[in-house]
Amino acid sequence: MSHSIFLLSITVLFCLTSIHGAQSSSGLDRMLKSIDETCSHIHSLLTYQRKIINIQVTKEAPVRIKIDMELTSPLAPLAKQHFSVEGMVCQNGFDRNAAQAACRSRKKKLQMFSTNYEWTPSPTDLYDKCYFEYNNDPFVVPCEFVLDNFNCTSDATSLNDCSYTALFQHQCTNDMHVGIGCGGTCKLI
């Protein structure tokens, strides 16, 4: 089962459980309306055509990225909507060129690069979750890796310049993190 379908299934199950498992009251009705709208948004995020428009490194070790997406609804193809998702990068294909591109995007030089990066998450780490934001409506879902199989040239200045798999499409286990260390300053030509 693809990861997008898996996430959609979890989301639909959460939405149905939240909507049908509740009792009626005016405050609860408002909450249910909000949950129903959120569920509709989540469904749109995972089923409509989407395009990555920006990738930003938010953490170096292990590498965590925020991906800004453009969403195209088949009902209104000219009306673009945007959302973001933040999660981990899998080590598959993440080589020295990708590590350098990630550091260059932070205007720094690559100091350290490691696949199979071992680390102990802190209680505040979202290591096994992805953070979504759509219409100022944030939510967290279980997932770990968002992108995989980066292919970057040696002169790439950010991960935006690389190719990679589709969002959530990866063949990774939870021990396949990558870590980088960036330092100093980098002059981009």
| Per-residue pLDDT tens digits of the chain, which is 189 residues long | 444 444 444 444 444 333 334 444 454 444 444 444 555 555 556 666 778 999 999 999 999 999 999 887 777 777 788 889 999 999 999 999 999 999 999 999 999 999 989 888 777 777 778 888 887 888 888 888 889 999 999 999 999 999 998 888 888 888 899 999 999 886 655
Residue 23 and residue 76: Cα distance in Å, rounded? 36
Torsion angle (degrees, nearest 10) of CA 23, 8, 145, 143: 20
State the pTM of this model.
0.74
State what percent of residues in the chain have pLDDT above 70.
72
Structure tokens at 68: 């800004």
Structure tokens at 145: 């890796």
Q: What DSSP designation does 160 have?
A: G
Q: What is the structure's pLDDT at 42?
A: 58
Q: Answer for the pair 80, 72: CB distance below 8 angstroms, yes or no.
A: yes
* Amino acid identity at 62: P
Q: Each residue of 21-39: pLDDT tens digit?
A: 444 445 444 444 444 455 5
Q: Which CATH architecture has domain 52-183?
A: Roll (3.10)
Domain boundaries, the chain: 1-47, 52-183
Q: What is the structure's pLDDT at 173?
A: 85
